[in-house]
Amino acid sequence: MERNVVFIALFAALIAALGLIPRITLASGIPITAQSMGIMLCGTVLGARRGALAVLLFLLLVAIGLPLLAGGRGGLGVFATPWAGFLFGFPVAAFVTGLVVERWRRGNLALIAGVAAVAGGIGALYLVAVPYYMWAKPAGLSEALITAMAPFMPGDLIKAVLAGLITAALAKARPDSLLSRA
């Protein structure tokens, strides 16, 4: 019980910390924030249920007024834009990512976690975020894909690959702490 609560809380804090450290610049010069990679890592490391709970806890603290989103944003206002579907999709993304890592046990962990991060952190996330944008703005499908999805796609693919590599490195260093495989 205590271990679950503390891991959930510390990963919520980790998502916040990843938004606070200087943004990561890729070799190609595209700056990305590591925050959405934190969502993927919650799934790959904590598993489906705990991962989703960590993200929900993070969003709760953002909603009650802590500036934990990348760039020091927070408060209720961030949930009022048509892009808020990304925030609402974060727990789903972590859940799906965790589910894949929990169920698919044989094979190279870096590959499995990377595929899981693509399925959850991109597939499931956009399945929530794009329809939400279409409903909340309101917008047609092509507009939603161009203004809500396309700008983030390249960064998200890179983050999914990195999430896979980082998960495998963590499993090597602290095999007992990989709760998704416990």
Partner 1 sequence: MIALTSQIETPYHRLPAGLKLALMCLFTLALFLHDDLRVRLAALGVVVLLHLVPGMRFAREAAGHLKPLWVFVLIIAAWHVATVTMADGLRVILLLLAAVGLANLVTMTTRLDDMIGVVRFLTRPLRGVGLRTQALEVSIALVIRFTPVLAQKGAALVDAWRCRSPRRPGWRIVTPLILLAVDDAERVAEALRARGGVG
Instruction: Name the residues that contact partner 1, by CB under 8 A.
Output: 1-3, 5-14, 16-18, 20-22, 24-26, 34, 37, 41, 45, 57-58, 60-61, 64-68, 71, 73-83, 136-137, 143, 146-147, 162, 166, 169-170, 173-174, 177
Q: How far is the CB of 127 from partner 1 (least distance, A)?
A: 21
- Which of 102/159 has CB closer to partner 1? 159
Contact (Cβ atoms closer than 8 angstroms) between residue 55 and residue 94 = yes
Smallest separation (angstroms) from partner 1 to the CB of 43 = 13
CB of 76 to partner 1, least distance (A): 4
- Closest contact distance (angstroms) between CB of 136 and partner 1 is 8
Q: How far is the CB of 11 from partner 1 (least distance, A)?
A: 7
Toward partner 1, which CB reaches closer, 106 or 120? 120
Cα separation, 80 vs 43, whole angstroms? 26
Give the type of residue at 143.
E
CB crowding 68-97: b at 16 or more within 10 Å, else e? bbbeeebeeebeeebbbbbbebbbbbbbbb
Q: Which is nearer to partner 1, 82 or 106 (CB)?
A: 82
How many other C-beta atoms can be found within 10 angstroms of the C-beta atom of residue 11? 26
Nearer to partner 1, 31 or 108 (CB): 31
One-letter amino acid of 43: G
Measured from the CB atom, is 106 or 142 closer to partner 1? Answer: 142
What is the per-residue DSSP string for 98-155? HHHHHH--SS-HHHHHHHHHIIIIIIIHHHHHHHHHHHHTT--HHHHIIIIITTTHHH
